[in-house]
Amino acid sequence: MSDRFSRRDLLHTAARGTVLATLGGGAGFLVKKAHGQVVWQVDSARCLNSRLGEVGVAACNLCTTECVVALSAVRAVNDHARCGRCNICPAYFNITSAVDERGLPSEKLCPRDAITRRPIGKADPEDPANNFYEYLIDEEKCDGCGKCVMQCKEPLGLGSIVLRIRYDRCVDCNRCSISRACPKDAFVRVPAGQALP
């Protein structure tokens, strides 16, 4: 047997490590919850990207740039119960980009192409506007940059997309870099039992 590490071995090890880290993180969160400990959370009412009244400003991406975890322990989630299922979603499309032959914006907003758009039910070929659309965020791609959150905010959108912590990734630093950098003090400690998934 060769003692060389094959590419397959490497991938297996990496995958196993990821799974264990995920399980470990999730298990750690459950332990904290059981013991009534506190965890970090993004307060949407304070976050620059989601708080009402902050219009005409650039999205804040400090959750991406400050987090010590790869890809960031923060990601965007879409509350489908609040989502308008719009034909033209400002969080999906760059709504100021050129309009294509279908009448839709030609560019997407997400720099990591983490959001997918698909019609709910059978799309009307005669009139694509005659449909509801579902917007799904791929957590493996999302780095929590907040652009979609800013565009989904009222009054442009309905505020269904917000930033949340990935508790399976967050390493729960005592002096969290994001919390120290956040200009709105939106990175807060809450009892684990009150943490939003």
Partner 1 sequence: MQYRQIAVIGGKGPGPGQFGAALRGIAVDAAGNLYAANDAQITVFDASGRLRRRWSTAQPVHAVAVAGDGAVYTGQIHQIEVFDATGKLVRTWRDDALLGRVTAIGFVNGDVLAGDATGRAIRRFDSQGKFRNNIGRDNPLNGLLIPNGVVDFGVDAHGIVHAANPGKHRVERYTPDGELLGHIGHFHGTDPAGFGGCCNPTNVAAGDRIYVTEKAGPRAKAYSFNGDLEAVIASDIFDANCKNMTIAVDRRGRVYVADTVKLSIFVFEQVAG
Q: Which residues of this protein are in contact with partner 1, per CB under 8 A?
A: 52-53, 55-56, 84-90, 95-97, 99, 103-105, 124, 129-132, 154-158
Whether residue 191 has a cis bond before it, omega within 30° of 0: no
Nearer to partner 1, 64 or 151 (CB): 151
Nearer to partner 1, 25 or 105 (CB): 105
Q: How far is the CB of 184 from partner 1 (least distance, A)?
A: 17
- In this structure, are strands 161-165 and 74-78 parallel, antiparallel, or unpaired? antiparallel
Q: Quick one: residue 85, left, alpha or beta (phi over 0 = left, psi -120 to 50 = alpha)?
A: left
Nearer to partner 1, 88 or 188 (CB): 88
Q: How far is the CB of 3 from partner 1 (least distance, A)?
A: 59
Nearer to partner 1, 23 or 136 (CB): 136
Q: How far is the CB of 103 from partner 1 (least distance, A)?
A: 6
Compute, in degrees rounded to 10, the torsion defined by CA atoms 182, 183, 184, 187.
Answer: 10
Distances (CA, A) of 120 to 56, 129, 184: 31, 12, 37
Q: How far is the CB of 168 from partner 1 (least distance, A)?
A: 32
Q: State which amino acid sits at residue 82.
A: R
Nearest alpha-carbon partner for 178 in 166, 160, 161: 166
